[in-house]
């Protein structure tokens, strides 16, 4: 596998030029500066490139091993690499100072996350889940739980997990059957949990002192369905009154999954209550476990999108390095590397253009998160949150779908060598494939966008984004050489508006509204993803063109213009076909009988 270099220059382009460091102007970030952010990115790049990335292939080969005592041993070097991350203070960079974190903007935390996931996706999953646990506990935990657990989670010496799925439940969490039995008053204010959870990422490992499980379960008298589910905190080791670790709780790893990829990440089946019951503590209100868990889920969904972008970036680097090295065939009459062949250039430029667009959109979403959390004006916070709500399903689903395609294209650039494990291209494809599935499959993300998010405000938040796209169209059309990009982007914006109206109108139909949303959701999200990423690439073209005019960093900005031209004139037209899919209607899906084939 070729070495990985964290894309610091590309990240700085988005933060400095596309986003203009606007997050730093928000209340709470007064001590941060562009120089500080640049130093953070450079240091994170060292950790990613020098410590985490060299372990990626080893983790894939070795995998994780469950011991007879139910513990899990990580691949060689993983625990040490995680400790280097903790000792560097990286776990708390996006956590508020009030909770013991660094208090840096979400755009910076997301940039660091992309580097780490590109370096080693399997290892990057551990702090990603911990971040979600911090978010859920900070919002919904009691003062006592926060005081006991948050400081160690923020520093990273304890890690967090999310326990939703059960063998019979899958994505339908209303079928959760794990029981939480209240303890007698004399025993204490806690519960004993009994049940089994599957697909628990980093559910057991030897990289941290303690593991804090956030678990969905039901009290014995809870009603059926979603309203009967509560959220509980279940530590691997119980915590004494003085903060020291006590005895092992009644939760154990029953098995680890044998997966297509991310072999260095222990995905566990956890058994709660094989003996007296796993001691757990109620988080938030009874019966509102799903609501509380979705605080964690939304945090995780944006990070999964960023994770996909990290893998896409590494696939890009891998493919470019191979194409520039592999001599095969002739170009202009002499032997040449395959990078000289236009079909290979098509693949390389497609990979680069899409990765750049995905990154810009994900960081734009992160910047809106910063506004939603920190802006002084309440109306500004609410408007930003409405955009975040629309963007998160797009960032999660579109980024991860595209990451799989980008990694697959990377294999294709390698030709037969891409199908050989030793080159490393195949691992990136195998690793990326899980991201469209977890934290809610991408179909669920599409239903969230086309159903809940679009219908609840009549498309107002998305319409606001389309207006920004159209403003960029005007800038491009007025810019001379970039006018053709404006024409293409205008057509994409018109398609998205038209498709939005179809989904809104048919989604309101009392007879077939739910069917319409289910039928159109995925093509609608794909269309939105193409248009919004192309929008970001149009903005990138404007910035790059202005920089070239001033004589700045010519090769870098020339490559940005090439990527933008490809994204708007060759990639966006493919995505625009989703409008035709929606306009074709849903009759073929409604009439299809799967049992007849």
Which residues are the active-site residues?
Answer: 439
Q: How many helices (H) and strands (E) does the chain have?
A: 19, 14
Q: What element of type H or E holds 328?
A: strand 327-331
Sign of the Cα torsion 416, 418, 424, 427 reads negative
Contact 268, 253 (CB under 8 A): yes
CA atoms within 13 A on the CB side of 563: 28
- In terms of phi and psi (left: phi > 0; alpha: psi -120 to 50; beta: otherwise), the region of 225 is left
Q: How many CB atoms lie within 10 A of CB 260?
A: 11
The token duo for 152 is 């160690």
Give the closest residue to 394 by CA, choosing from 528, 266, 286.
528
Tell me how far apart the alpha carbons of residues 517 and 362 are, in angstroms, rounded to a whole number.
25
Tell me how far apart the alpha carbons of residues 481 and 198 are, in angstroms, rounded to a whole number.
55
Give the closest residue to 289 by CA, choosing from 373, 226, 220.
226
Tell me how far apart the alpha carbons of residues 91 and 103 are, in angstroms, rounded to a whole number.
11
Tell me how far apart the alpha carbons of residues 12 and 112 are, in angstroms, rounded to a whole number.
11
Task: Return the residue matching tokens 């053709």.
Answer: 484
Residue 171 phi/psi, 5-degree rounding, is: -80, -10
In sequence order, the β-bridge partners of residue 448 are none
The token duo for 444 is 């669920």
Contact 533, 354 (CB under 8 A): yes
In sequence order, the β-bridge partners of residue 194 are 179
Say how many Å lie between the first and final Cα of the chain, rounded.
Answer: 43
Sign of the Cα torsion 486, 489, 491, 496 reads negative
Dmax over CA atoms of the chain, in Å, equals: 87
Sign of the Cα torsion 39, 45, 46, 47 reads positive
Contact 319, 413 (CB under 8 A): yes
39 Cα distance to chain centroid: 24
The SS3 assignment for 96 reads coil
Contact 578, 524 (CB under 8 A): yes
Pairing of strands 210-218, 158-163: parallel
In sequence order, the β-bridge partners of residue 182 are 191
């Amino acid at each position: 596998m070729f070495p990985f270099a964290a894309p610091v220059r590309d990240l700085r382009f988005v933060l400095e030029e596309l986003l203009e460091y606007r997050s730093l102007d928000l209340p709470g970030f007064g001590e941060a500066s562009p120089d500080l952010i640049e130093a953070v990115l450079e240091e994170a790049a060292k950790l990613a490139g020098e410590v985490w990335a060299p372990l990626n292939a080893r983790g894939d080969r070795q995998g994780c091993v469950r011991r007879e005592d139910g513990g899990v041993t990580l691949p060689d070097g993983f625990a040490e690499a995680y400790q280097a991350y903790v000792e560097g203070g990286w776990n708390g960079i996006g956590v508020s100072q009030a909770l013991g974190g660094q208090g840096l903007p979400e755009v910076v935390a997301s940039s660091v996350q992309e580097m780490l996931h590109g370096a080693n996706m399997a290892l990057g999953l551990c702090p990603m889940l911990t971040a979600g646990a911090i978010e859920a506990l900070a919002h919904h935990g009691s003062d006592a739980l926060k005081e006991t657990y948050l400081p160690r989670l923020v520093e990273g010496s304890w890690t967090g997990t999310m326990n939703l799925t059960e063998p019979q439940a899958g994505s339908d969490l209303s079928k959760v059957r794990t029981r939480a039995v209240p303890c007698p008053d004399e025993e204490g204010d806690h519960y004993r949990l009994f049940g089994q959870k599957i697909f628990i990422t980093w559910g057991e490992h030897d990289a941290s002192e303690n593991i804090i499980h956030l678990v969905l379960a039901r009290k014995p008298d809870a009603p059926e369905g979603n309203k009967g589910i509560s959220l509980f905190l279940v530590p691997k080791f119980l915590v004494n009154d003085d903060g020291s670790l006590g005895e092992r709780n009644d939760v154990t790893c029953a098995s680890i999954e044998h997966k297509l990829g991310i072999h260095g990440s222990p995905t566990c089946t956890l058994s709660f209550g094989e003996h007296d019951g796993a001691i757990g503590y109620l988080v938030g209100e009874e019966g509102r476990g799903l609501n509380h868990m979705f605080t964690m889920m939304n945090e995780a969904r944006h990070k999964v999108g960023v994770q996909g972008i990290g893998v896409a970036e590494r696939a890009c680097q891998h493919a470019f390095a191979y194409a520039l090295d592999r001599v095969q065939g002739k170009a202009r009459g002499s032997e040449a590397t395959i990078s000289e062949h236009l079909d290979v250039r098509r693949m390389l430029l497609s990979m680069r253009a899409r990765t750049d667009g995905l990154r810009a959109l994900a960081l734009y979403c992160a910047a809106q998160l910063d506004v939603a959390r920190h802006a002084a004006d309440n109306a500004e916070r609410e408007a930003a949150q409405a955009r975040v709500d629309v963007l998160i399903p797009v960032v999660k689903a579109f980024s991860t779908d595209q990451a799989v395609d980008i990694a697959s294209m990377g294999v294709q650039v390698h030709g037969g060598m891409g199908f050989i494990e030793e080159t490393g291209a195949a691992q990136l494809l195998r690793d990326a494939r899980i991201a469209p599935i977890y934290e809610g499959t991408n179909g669920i993300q599409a239903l969230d966008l086309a159903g809940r998010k679009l219908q609840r405000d009549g498309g107002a938040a998305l319409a606001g984004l389309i207006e920004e796209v159209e403003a960029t169209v005007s800038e491009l059309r007025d810019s001379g050489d970039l006018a053709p990009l404006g024409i293409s982007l205008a057509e994409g914006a018109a398609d998205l508006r038209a498709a939005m109206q179809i989904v809104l109108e048919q989604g309101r139909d009392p007879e077939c509204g739910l069917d319409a949303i289910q039928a159109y959701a995925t093509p609608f999200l794909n269309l939105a993803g193409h248009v919004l990423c192309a929008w970001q690439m149009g903005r990138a073209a404007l910035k790059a063109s202005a920089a070239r005019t001033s004589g700045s960093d010519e090769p870098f900005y020339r490559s940005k213009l090439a990527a933008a031209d490809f994204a708007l004139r060759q990639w966006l037209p493919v995505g625009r076909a989703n409008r035709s899919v929606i306009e074709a209607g849903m009759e073929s899906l409604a009439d299809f009988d799967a049992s007849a084939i």
